[in-house]
Amino acid sequence: MRLIKMFGLGMLACLATMAFVGATSASADVFCLEAGHHTSECPAAQIYKGNIKGLTLSTKPALLLTNGEIEEECHGELLALGATIENEGSHKGVKILVDAGAQDFTGCTGLCKNSTNKNPFNILSEALTLDSFVTGDPNKPEAELFNCFFGIKCFYQFTNATQLSAISGDTVVSTNVPLTRVAPSSSLCPNNNMSFDATYLVTKDETNGVPIYVAALP
């Protein structure tokens, strides 16, 4: 009888462990083609693992600001590589790489006519909290502004190694992100309380791509 009880307790412990492992893996984060799952499970058929595109809204161009005053505004596009998607574990987020040169700004007005990203960087998105972080690995984002007045070039880097943005449905909103002017910028480039604002619509990497959301695994 005692052996039977011990065997029964052992089975219960085993089942409890299996349930715990299952619950842990079920709470990992993914990219999802269906809205409304940031606190629930993304249906398996809706999990997306391809390339992801971010586009600034036509009504909200990306802004480079000095003391809150607009120095530059551009339409922006970035590409995150689906082959680099990494799940970080139980509600710790899903990470994806924006490669060097995979973020460009066009139709700029202000100080310069064009801008492009110089460094690869990772974006970590957390479904439960609707937070999106530029993680600073392998680098901080750095933009080169060119075709500027007087032929100068300006380089700006995110000041913080980790920078928080907010996820709102299929958009990621960055507000008042602090920037630091870095070499080899011209001394004529603005360098007084610089910041960056942008709202990106997140979609599949295709023409008129469908929206993408951050969600939990089934």
Half-sphere exposure of 19 (CA within 13 A, CB side): 6
d(CA 113, CA 84): 31
Nearest to 82 by CA among 100, 102, 96: 96
Indicate whether 7 pLDDT > 60: no
Average pLDDT over residues 19-29: 48
pLDDT of residue 27: 58
Average pLDDT over residues 25-45: 87
2 vs 57, higher pLDDT: 57
For residue 23, the SS3 value is: helix
Task: Name beta bridge partners: 96.
Answer: 123
- Asked if 162 and 135 touch (Cβ cutoff 8 Å), the reply is yes
pLDDT of residue 203: 97
Which positions ≥6 away from 84 have C-beta within 8 Å?
95, 96, 97, 122
Of the pLDDT bands very low, low, confident and very high (cuts 50, 70, 90), residue 116 is: confident
pLDDT in tens, 40-83: 999 999 999 999 999 999 889 999 999 999 999 999 999 999 99
pLDDT of residue 9: 37
Average pLDDT of the chain, as a whole number: 86
